[in-house]
Every structure is written in structure tokens, then in C-alpha cells.
Amino acid sequence: MFLLRLIGSFALLLSPLGVARQYGNLPPLAKVMRGVDVSHYQKQIEWDSVAVKEPIDFAFVKATEGHDYVDSLFCRNWDALRRHGIRRGAYHFFRAFGCGEEQARNFLQNVEYQAGDLAPVLDIERTDGIAPEIMIEEAQIWLHAVEKELGIKPIIYTGLHFYENNLKGHFDHYPLWIARYADEAPLLTTGKRWDFWQYSNEGCLEGISQKVDLNVFPGTPAMMERLCWYPPTTETAEAKVTP
């Protein structure tokens, strides 16, 4: 079911003309990894069923929001994904009216990373009535604090239009996860290439009672490794403390 929907959504994209126009050298379907992202809105997920019946390669889980909110099902989802061997990532829903430092602390205190987990994600998709320049400044504080603590660049999640209207040109050196619900992949006016594409919010999967977001990563597991967290080596740790 999931695979059939994915093939349908990529039918145009994977044609020679579609590839050239939308993503350059996008790998063939066999090299596209499939994933979901979830939060308490999906209620309690039967990950046993998902792991057996749905061919997903990765999943992002909502961990925190603002300076003090923790998703009620984060720990359950986070632990289940590890148990079933599904590559996992955690995201923080950013509130523009909040302090970036406090929001970073909320995330870091509630997410325990293990080797091979996907880099942390900053979900930034609304201004909350705050001036865009303030939103960007606080988001940069979050990004810097999390990168300093974990030693890996976070991924930025946002919608295509929000990116174009508010974020483009500010976070070009961060990995990018773009939401665009269409058969054609996102094409950014900056020329920046996305790393993940959320192409639908209408997914129906065994084991998940509510509709769920569907995502793809245009590459292989080995290519995804560059977006994963690993503990620092002895040499890296020593380099950090060298005067």
C-alpha cells in the first residue's frame, strides 16, 4: 500500500524529464528511502505492525515544543523505533515568541541520542506574529546551542512557501527538510537542494490509526549516514579541549 502510493507520487519525478527539472540527479526508486513523522496526534502507534507490514526506513518523532512542552508520546515512540531497528530522528517545534536558548535546553534535556540516530530537527513553520528578523535570530541561537552540544548540524524542517518567504538565504549551510504536498518535488528559488521531502500528510499505514505524514530521502542508507549522530571519537574530544 505504502509502496504503491510512493510509486504513484514519483511517476513523473522519476522520468528523465522530471528528474532534470526537479532534483538533478535524483536516484532511481530503488535508492529512495521512505519514512514518516509522528507526534501525539497519531495517538499510540502499534510499531510492531508498522515494522512488519510497512516498508519504512526512517521515522521522525516530535520531542518538544517551545521552552517547556514535551510531547506526551515521545518516549514511547522513541524507544519503540530503537527496539524495532527503524532509523529515528527527533524534532523540536519552534515557537518564534520564545527564547532560542531555553527552547534548545528543553530539547537537549529530553532527547537522549544513541549512535546512528538522525540529526536533531528544528521545525520552524510559523512566525507567531513575531518580526521575522527576531524569529530568525532566536532560531539561530537554538541551532548553535544544539550543534555545540551534540557536534552535528541540525536539520531544518519547513514548508516550501514559508522557506521562500521567511527563511531563504539565512540557513543555507544546514540540511533541509521541505514539506510540499504534490507529485512534483520542491524546487527552491535559491538553488539549494533539499535532503528530505515531506510529500503528503494523508498517509494510511498499518499500525497507525490516524493519517500520517509521508517523507522520502533521495539516497541510500550509506548516504543518510552523513546526517546521523555518532559520539565523538577520542581525537575529536581532545581537539575540542585543546587550547
List active site positions. Answer: 125
What gap in Å lies between CA 83 and CA 80, rounded to an integer?
5
Q: Which residue has the cell 540557513?
A: 171
Alpha carbon distance 116, 167 (integer Å)? 28
Alpha-carbon distances, residue 62 vs 87, 151, 190 (angstroms):
14, 21, 28
Q: In sequence order, which residues have a C-beta less than 8 Å from that of residue 61 and are 6 or more positions away?
A: 37, 38, 39, 71, 74, 77, 78, 81, 88, 89, 90, 91
How many Å apart are CA 243 and CA 240, to the nearest integer? Answer: 8
C-alpha cell at 51: 515494522
Residues in Cβ contact with 150 at an 8 Å cutoff, skipping those fewer than 6 apart: 108, 113, 119, 120, 229
